[in-house]
Copies of this chain bind each other. A is one copy, B any other.
């Protein structure tokens, strides 16, 4: 049996990553590709690396016949996404990769994103797409909200620790490096090779990054009390990958055990031997997460490091994993690609 897939926003990096993954999926078939600004073009003119695939020409999303679509990935910029999704037939299953349905509270949304949400009722309908922790809800969902890529990485570290009660909730610092594809295919000066290669910098310093909205929502819900972490992202001179270094307080063995237990049966999350930490090099191009725990020389302080590929496990791979669940196929279908190293 074959599932018919549409992608809206096919001309961005997460759109391309979805197509890359679907290319080896055993049962998904791409029926429609939309990119309004490039409608009428073959995909190969936008993404030459996909030229070997037999794909439909780019159309506008309004041209898609959704009666023929089993599931639609929406890979649009935030704000545009909510406007488009609110106009799609209410029967079509949707995995949204934007930020638009991650926050359930309209006030929180407005606080972090600045505008009134255009589809408030759908904010509560949407299931938060962190697969390992919302699996059952995702299976029955019509609309799944893909998580932020930084937000996913931090949660892979912190959710089991918060849920397990093994860390001090008031002393959580998340320091993170993100590759440049996380910023999308946008024409900004700081994303030019000449500006970005051979160096690094912090951004959104002072815990002002929008993904904190997700951390606040998820960690507070999990803890049953307000949890606010410190979070500093850095922009690194690499295309794919997030490395998150978390500074927490607790017992290293207990922390390690909490992670091992949480991920014991997970196909995509690897907890490294105690004392080892991961590298983004070793998850590049894949849907895997590597996590490692180290006790600090200071008693009661622990460092936990996680690595994943922001475009794959942090975005399009997660979306595929969720789509698999929503359509009742094997959760790992199309996602067992080994990392591309070197």
Contacts and interface: CB of A to CB of B under 8 A. Distances in A.
A197 B198 contact: yes
B191 A297 contact: no
Contacts of A198: 179, 197-198, 238-241, 281, 284
Interface residues of A, number: 87
Given A192-B187, A192-B191, A193-B197, A342 B51 contact: no
A196 B56 CA distance: 27
A217 B295 CA distance: 22
Contacts of A191: 192-194
Identical chains bound together, number: 4
Interface of A: 13, 16, 19-20, 23-24, 47-53, 173, 175, 177, 179-181, 185, 187-189, 191-203, 205-208, 212, 228, 230, 232, 234, 236-241, 243, 245, 247, 268, 270, 275, 277-286, 288, 290, 292, 294-298, 301, 303, 305, 307, 311, 336-342
Top 3 closest A-B pairs, CB basis?
A201-B279, A199-B281, A49-B282
Contact of A173 (B173, B275, B288): B173
Contacts of A181: 194, 342
A180 B205 contact: no
A251 to B, nearest CB: 14
Contacts of A337: 23-24, 337
